[in-house]
């Protein structure tokens, strides 16, 4: 049953991501590294007009999400069992309304920093696939990844930080549910970053 469900919900690379969702879907969001899928499921359930793509390379995480979808079927979820970079590279320009990267592997050793997801080259790709005004959400509990990510996001010409004060990055927004990792395995105070894709004409 689970294999059949994955087959039905597997993300297929194509020119128009909305074609893989019901006609009621008005825009598409992407979460890379969805873990056990709690956040992805919450977003899909609370935004029925949104098509949610989730990318997760670990089989255990995919299996946990499929279990949740067996219990609460949602036909607006699509799953990619692999690297989220593959999806981003294949997406057409201005095709995403929101992007989530929550508690990614920090690759703490300096020699491994090049493996971190948020590189300037990836931000170039995200700037390409995000619509004007789309939101990029990033969370981490790693003290070294936070300044690394902030430095790159602040330096990139396509993104504006939406924070107006400390509470905006210290407190999780109301429409940002906690993940299982956040409640059980977190290593320090989490930081929640929200960036907006600048309008292309104004850039």
Which residues are known to be catalytic? Answer: 105
Cα–Cα distance measured from residue 151 to residue 146, given in angstroms and rounded to the nearest whole number: 8
Cα–Cα distance measured from residue 31 to residue 91, given in angstroms and rounded to the nearest whole number: 14
Q: Quick one: which of 108, 136, 116, 134 has its CA closest to 31?
A: 136
Output b/e per residue, 18-47; b: 16+ Cβ within 10 A: eebbeeebebbbbbbbbbbbbbbbbbbeeb
Yes or no: say if 86 and 79 are a contact pair by the CB < 8 Å rule. no
């Amino acid at each position: 049953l689970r294999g059949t469900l994955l087959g039905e919900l597997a993300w297929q690379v194509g020119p128009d991501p909305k074609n893989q969702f019901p006609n009621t879907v008005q825009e598409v969001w992407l979460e890379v590294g969805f873990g056990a899928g709690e956040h992805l499921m919450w977003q899909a359930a609370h935004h029925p007009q949104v098509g949610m793509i989730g990318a997760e390379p670990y089989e255990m995480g995919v299996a946990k999400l499929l279990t949740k979808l067996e219990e609460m079927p949602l036909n607006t979820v699509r799953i990619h069992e692999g690297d989220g970079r593959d999806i981003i590279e294949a997406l057409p320009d201005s095709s995403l309304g929101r992007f989530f990267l929550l508690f990614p592997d920090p690759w703490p050793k300096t020699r491994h920093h090049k493996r971190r997801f948020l590189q300037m080259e990836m931000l170039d790709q995200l700037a390409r696939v995000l619509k004007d005004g789309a939101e990029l959400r990033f969370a981490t509990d790693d003290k070294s990844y936070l300044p690394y990510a902030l430095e790159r996001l602040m330096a990139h010409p396509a993104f504006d930080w939406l924070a107006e004060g400390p509470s905006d990055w210290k407190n999780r927004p109301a429409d940002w549910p906690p993940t299982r990792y956040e409640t059980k395995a977190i290593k320090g105070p989490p930081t929640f970053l929200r960036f907006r894709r600048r309008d292309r004409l104004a850039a």
